[in-house]
Amino acid sequence: MSFSAYGTHFGIRVTDPTVLERVQQHLPWGWEPAASSQVDFMYSLVAAGASKRQGTRPYHLLYAGSGRIARTHNFDELCARLASHLELVTAFLAKNCLFVHAGVVGWQGKAIMIPGRSFSGKTSLVTALIKRGATYYSDEFAILDSQGWVRPYPSPLSVRDGDDLNAKKYAAEELGGQVGVEPLPVGLVVITDYQPEAQWRPRALSPAQAMLALMNNTIAALRGPEVSIPILKQVVLKAKTIKSKRGEAEEIVPLLQKLVSAPHR
């Protein structure tokens, strides 16, 4: 099969066509089928068949280009590896938009953008914002268009329970929220990390400081600075950017909602 996602054309070939339906459940958000056999990136999946030797179990194999990226007995694990790899390749090769590691919600016509990698606490803050009426846009990536506006990327939220590293997937609707549809201008960028009992003491960042913080979370920052810098520049010049450690998410949500609603000077 072949499909496109954010301007990149992918191909996936398999040894067993019956697995394609399961594979499709792990393609990037917003993918569309494509008829052309010309692709920018090819995956090959060798599905384990029946063993020819008693007492042995064949492996499922996954290749990206000519490099093997998974070898496992568990097909769900292989699909998870495919989804993770696809997401990063899509983010790196995306055309006419920019992928930034960030959680995003909408509030009163503007986006609150929370840059950060895994385990930075962005999901818990996004979840708390949703529960207080914010519109869900993304838990993983802020997709910025050429004008610096955020597009929806509403993949399920990966919520971890306490110290459990195994996240569970939730749709925004399961948390009582709604999913955004239209692009939004960024009104507030929040640079923060969770630390137990940390005091919320936000300070404003200059556009240059905000640019560095966003570049640090931009997937294709080094591949095409001539593309990424103009897009990020529109964000940092128009949005407020603040930075602070934080404690529990619920404590700062009302402050963020109030801040994004205030006029930007």
What is the spatial distance between Cα 133 and Cα 118, in angstroms, rounded to a whole number?
24
Sorting pLDDT into bands at 50, 70 and 90, what band is 161? low
Q: What is the mean pLDDT of residues 76-84?
A: 95
CA angle 175, 178, 94 (to 5 degrees): 105
- pLDDT of 224: 74
Q: What is the mean pLDDT of residues 141-147?
A: 95
Per the CB < 8 A criterion, the answer to whether 188 and 261 are in contact is no
The whole-angstrom distance between residue 90's C-alpha and the CA centroid of its chain comes to: 11
What is the spatial distance between Cα 216 and Cα 3, in angstroms, rounded to a whole number?
29
Question: Measured on CA atoms in the order 117, 121, 127, 130, is the torsion positive or negative?
Answer: negative
Q: Buried b vs exposed e over 127-153: b needs ≥16 C-beta within 10 Å?
A: bbbbebebbbbbbbbbbbeeebbbbbb
Q: What is the C-alpha end-to-end distance of the chain, expressed in Å?
A: 51
Sorting pLDDT into bands at 50, 70 and 90, what band is 264? low
Beta-bridge partner residues of 62: 45, 70
**Residue ranges of E strands in 57-134:** 60-64, 67-72, 97-107, 110-115
Per the CB < 8 A criterion, the answer to whether 154 and 137 are in contact is yes
Per the CB < 8 A criterion, the answer to whether 209 and 177 are in contact is no
Domain ranges within the chain, ordered by starting residue: 2-93, 97-261
Tens digits of residue pLDDT in 203-220: 999 999 999 999 999 998
pLDDT at residue 165 tops 60: no
Tens digits of residue pLDDT in 101-119: 999 999 999 999 999 987 7
pLDDT at residue 163 tops 90: no
pTM score, whole prediction: 0.87
Fold held by 97-261: Rossmann fold (3.40.50)
